[in-house]
Chains A and B, each alone.
Chain A
Amino acid sequence: MNLPNQENQERILNSWDGLQKAEAPPYFYTRLIGRMQNSLVTDTKRTFLLRPAFITTVLILALIINVVSMWVFKNTNTQQATTKQMNTPATIESFAKAYDLTNTAVYE
């Protein structure tokens, strides 16, 4: 638009006079109901996730998984320790200890 001059200041200010009110678009109500039903479905899904029964079940499951993992981990560690002990290569000290060769009193 061309820049207005002082004379048409009032014309601009009064340009909304006699304005016809805009009407809501056709099928406004139908679209509104559709949107409400959609948001209701989403809310139901969200509400399901926030239900105490659902939250408690998830927490109990997490606890069970943790306990089982700890038990399995502990068992694996014990087993590994035994195997490690069994697999330790024989040294002179262990041989001497096993045949009680540390007592030198006999030769004195």
Chain B
Amino acid sequence: MTEQEIIEGLKRGEALAFSELVAVYQDRIFNTSLGLLQHTQDAEDIAQEVFIQVYTSIHSFKGEAKLSTWLYRIAVTKSLDFIRKKNRKKRLGKIFSIFGEADPSANDLIEFNHPGIQQEQKEAAAYLFKLVNQLPENQRIAFILNKIEGISYGEIADILKISDGAVDSLLQRAKQNFRKMIGGENSTG
């Protein structure tokens, strides 16, 4: 099935088109969400939500961008919303802990190990995952889409609705920030 056939099929409400869409994009969407959320179960939930949204709002898809670009955009937006909600919960948890009502989810700082990392890189990669969370949002998204999902500068530009040059600049600044963070921790250590 071509991309256009999938879109047309989805607009007609065909189950076959939907199963084809999921078969083609499930790994990409899951991998992107996993990179951003660093939690397998949360990433699966968000990936499911992405497909549900595509199913319910396919009629609003005008075909100005590629289907994959639209899917990545939804995945990024949903993942960031989820992170914001989680952070809000953590802040509330901290406030409640002052009054003695500790929230067990507030301290879930578990080291994340991506399943696709080579064994010898595991420790360094987990450290980089920790650092990536400290980057500004746009730099984080650009870095994860490029490094984890292997998306080209052009498509990242389409997903974020910015220019190719801006993507390059985001990635350069992300690397500079990483160096500062690593250097900073090194000097304090």
Contacts and interface: CB of A to CB of B under 8 A. Distances in A.
Interface in B143-163: 147-150
A22 B52 contact: no
Interface residues of A, number: 28
Contacts of A13: 128, 175, 178-179
B44 A4 contact: no
B26 A24 contact: yes
Given A9-B183, A31-B48, A19 B26 contact: no
Contact of B27 (A1, A15, A21, A35): A21
B150 A16 contact: no
A84 B118 CA distance: 94
Interface stretch (B68-76, B88-96, B109-117): B109-117
A39 B178 contact: no
Contact of B189 (A3, A12, A18): A3
**A5, A11, A22, A28 pick with most chain B CB within 10 angstroms:** A22
A4 B124 CA distance: 9
Contacts of A23: 27, 30-31
A32 B22 contact: yes
Contacts of B80: none
B120 to A, nearest CB: 9
A21 B22 contact: no
A32 B51 CA distance: 8
A29 B26 contact: yes
B83 interface: no
B61 interface: no
**B26, B29, B48 pick with most chain A CB within 10 angstroms:** B48
A39 B175 CA distance: 42
B182 A12 contact: yes
Contacts of A18: 118, 121
Contacts of A78: none
Given A1-B123, A32-B51, A36-B55, A21 B31 contact: yes
Of all A-B residue pairs in the complex, the 5 with the closest CB atoms, nearest first, are A20-B116, A3-B189, A15-B124, A24-B30, A24-B26
11 contacts: A3-B186, A4-B124, A4-B127, A9-B179, A12-B131, A18-B121, A22-B34, A23-B31, A25-B30, A25-B44, A29-B26
